[in-house]
Structure formats: structure tokens, C-alpha cells
Copies of this chain bind each other. A is one copy, B any other.
């Protein structure tokens, strides 16, 4: 009997919000391994906001997915079959193996990981792409100095939680913005931020003002929209804004920035970035992050959907802020 691979492909492009119809679960026979290839069994899939952008047929930083393509995504898994000289059965690996049970690889872009040091899933979050994103934006763009105030939106999420904790380790005042009392409590009580503002409470600007009595020197933007407007109004002269995500705009509607003139009046630097374009910093960042996790200096929280077939609803929930912590899908 041929062994089958389950995979989720892009069935259609969302016109506005993503819906389950935009995906299709398929089964195909496993590909035959060629020389120099190995097969990975995916254990966990990472669900990330950038996936929304790839579903559009629009000018962006990456090629859009074609209709029928397997949905893109980072996974952690295990080598289950190998004709590759340096990957052997049993190796734990992480790579862009997509929304599927199995993938084959020649090793390019694949990293072996050690699940004795930190849990395997951490390599999809705090010790993976989201962690490096936080590290890069904070250290290379915001460049915080001790005593400064750093604000981060989506503060309980995979990237935001790392930004705030690294800012605290750098001697800064860390202020989060998150949706709901429960997330805010987690951000302050568990992650150790100095304050967290609940954007769902309906008083974002006054609450942010109260939480940032000395203004804001650095802002790590994961969301866009109201958070961006409110924080921009609190920026100190020569502040830096690392622009990492604009979730609020991913569902088709562009979200304007109300007062761009503040960028001029406060002489701000705003830098958009995509962490995969800065591969030179990954070894340093991953080393630092993995050490901090192993030392329990960086905490993280995961939100796991059980089963590959749940991936579409996990992404839809993420885009609506329904996840609490790093969103994963358990595949095996």
C-alpha cells in the first residue's frame, strides 16, 4: 500500500477576510527519495501572520503562492528516511516544510536542532524566526538604551513577548499593547513587562499615555492601525520604530496612519524589515535566544491546535487575535 501525504493547499485567494474555503486538504502519494535527499515527518507547524500576505496576488516582499500550492510554513520534525550524507534518521530539524505531514529536502535552509537543550517547539517561536525577528528589530533598529521606554504591540504574541523581555534585560521600561485583560495580566505578571495596555478596553490612548510617563523611545510595531496611531503620538524626539507587521491591514483593507507628520516633527526613524533578509545575524541571535531560554530568562507560551486539518482555523484565529501565545499546529 502506497503511503500517503496529507497536505493543505491554497484553493482560492481571499477577497477580504480569510475563510476556510480558501484552503483544501489533499492526499498524495509520498514522493520517491532521490540521492542527496531526505524525508521529514513534520511534528509541529508554526502559524504566522505573514502567511496571510502570501495568499494575495499582490506586490509584496515575497512571491505570492500560486493557487494549488501547498501553504507555506515553518515546521519542526524528524528525519524518517535519508539518502543525504549529513542528515540521518532520527535527526530533529526545522525548515520551511509547509502545511503537510511530510516533505523532502536536500538540506538547503534546514537547521538541525537539539531538543535536549530547549523543547522542540521553541525552535518555531522564541528560538526561531519569531525570536530572531524580535531580536533584530529591537537590537538593530530600535537600539535601546538603558532607561528608555520601549513599546511593543501584540505583546503576548510570539514576537512581542520576546521584544519586551529583551527590552527588560537591556534595562528599559517595557510596555505592551495586547487584546484583553487576560493577555495583559500575562504580559505583566508572567513576562515581567512594566505595564500592558488593553486595546480592547476602549481607552487605548489615555491608557498608553499613563503607561509611558516619559514618552516612548522605541516602538516595535506588529499590528498597525490604532496601536500605531496611539504610540506615534507618544514618541520622543529621535525615536525609532521597527515596523514588523501590519496584521490589521492584512484582511484587504488598507489601514491609514492618521498623523504621519509626527515622523517629521519628532524626527523619527521608521524602518520596515523582513528578518529573512538579514540571515547574517541569525547565528548570533539564535545563539543568544536559545541560551536565554535554557537559562529560563526568556519565557514563552504556546497555543496548540491539534491536527493538520485545524491549521486553517488556527490561521484565521491568529488574524483575529484569538490565539494566546505562539500559535502552533500539532501534526504528529
Mark A residues whose CB is within 8 Å of B: 53, 59-61, 224, 228, 237, 243-246, 249, 254-261, 263-274, 277
Contacts and interface: CB of A to CB of B under 8 A. Distances in A.
20 contacts: A53-B265, A59-B265, A60-B265, A61-B237, A61-B266, A224-B261, A228-B260, A244-B264, A246-B261, A249-B261, A255-B260, A256-B256, A256-B257, A256-B260, A264-B272, A265-B272, A266-B272, A268-B270, A269-B271, A270-B270
Contacts of A263: 243, 270, 272
A267 B274 contact: yes
Contact of A256 (B244, B258, B271, B274): B258
A277 B244 CA distance: 28
A263 B277 CA distance: 15
A97 to B, nearest CB: 25
Contacts of A249: 259, 261
A227 B270 CA distance: 19
Contacts of A60: 265
Given A224-B260, A249-B259, A270-B271, 5 more contacts: A61-B266, A246-B264, A255-B261, A256-B259, A264-B273
B277 A264 contact: no
Nearest to A259: B254
A225 to B, nearest CB: 9
B244 A254 contact: no
Contacts of A270: 263, 268-271
A267 B256 contact: no
Given A267-B274, A272-B267, A260 B261 contact: no
A152 B71 CA distance: 41
A218 to B, nearest CB: 15
